[in-house]
Amino acid sequence: MIAAPDRMPLAREFFDRPVLEVAPELLGRTLVRTSPEGTIEVRITEVEAYAGEADPGSHAYRGRTERNASMFGPPGHAYVYFIYGMWFSLNLVCGPEGTASGVLLRGGEVIEGVDLARARRPKARRDRELAQGPARLATALDVTRALNGVDLCAGPNGPLSVLAGHPVPPDQVRSGPRTGVGGDGAHHPWRFWADGDPTVSQYRPHVPRNRGKARQQDGA
């Protein structure tokens, strides 16, 4: 049986493009997380772009390390980062191999597997809060470092994949500064979201955690 157009997985070529092209075009796509507990699907509504070594806000700005190595790999893979010793964030690697650019998934609407997402996020008061923000999204999907480097384009049997879904029309895409990014990257309008969607998280400007020390970013 041939899958419906919205159920077709995105090919690697989709991710093998400049990050500022990929990021807004991820809005409306369907992220699928498959685990032994079940499957959860999320309609992506909010993302942020990080342009690797050319971007002061990126984890890869100062070059390759053991921690960020997956960002330098082929496009269409996951980069999972543990932040503040508290939670994970899920990023999708894009651009040619070696460019280390990626898209942070900041928020989305759980469209399948709501009960499982609720079990993982029992403090969520409303369904729209289940994946509203990068930490909540990662928690609802049970994203850990075990998924770091996973191939999103490996096929339907993998733990993570992205389906074509229903892309948000360009005239309904909004952009602005990235949440929590300071320094030279503070004003890049590289956060993209679906206009008016209730699952989009609240913007937060950069606030240094310690005087004289730069705050690490949530994304890639």
Confidence of residue 214 (pLDDT cuts 50, 70, 90): very low
Residue 212 lies in a domain: no
* The pLDDT value given to residue 184: 83
Residue 220 within any structural domain of the chain = no
Residue 200 maps to a domain: no
Contact of 147 with 160, CB cutoff 8 Å: yes
The CATH number of the domain holding residue 188 is 3.10.300.10
Is residue 112 domain-resident? yes
Residue 108 lies in a domain: yes
Instruction: Give dist(CA 51, CA 63) in Å, integer.
Output: 12
Write down the residue that tokens 């339907």 correspond to. Answer: 156
Taking residues 156-160, report their average pLDDT: 89
The larger pLDDT score, comparing residue 62 to residue 30, is at 30
Show the tokens assigned to 88. Answer: 């994970």
- Overall number of domains in the chain: 1
The structure tokens listed for 3 are 């899958």
* CA 66-146-53 angle, 5° bins: 35
Report yes or no on 48 lying in a domain. yes
The pTM (predicted TM-score) of the whole model is 0.92
Give whole-number Cα distances, 72 to 67, 77, 120, 158, 175, in Å.
11, 10, 31, 21, 26
pLDDT tens digit string along 40-80?
999 999 999 999 888 888 888 888 888 889 999 999 999 99
* Among the ranges given (7-11, 16-20, 85-89), the one the predictor scored with the smallest mean pLDDT: 85-89
26 within a domain of the structure (yes/no): yes
Give the residue among 39, 56, 40, 57 at the shortest CA–CA distance from 48: 57
- DSSP letter at 169? P
Q: Chain-wide mean pLDDT for the chain?
A: 91
Collect all residues with Cβ–Cβ distance below 8 Å to 171 and sequence separation of at least 6.
none
Residue 185 pLDDT = 86
Mean pLDDT of 68-94: 91
CA angle 32, 37, 41 (to 5 degrees): 20
Amino acid occupying residue 144 = T
Domain, as residue range, for 71: 5-194
Answer yes or no: is 113 within a domain.
Answer: yes
Look at strands 30-35 and 173-176 and give their pairing.
unpaired
Residues forming a β-bridge with 46 = 107, 193
Nearest in space to 45 (alpha carbons), one of 160, 183, 201 = 201
The pLDDT confidence band at residue 211, using thresholds 50, 70 and 90, is: very low
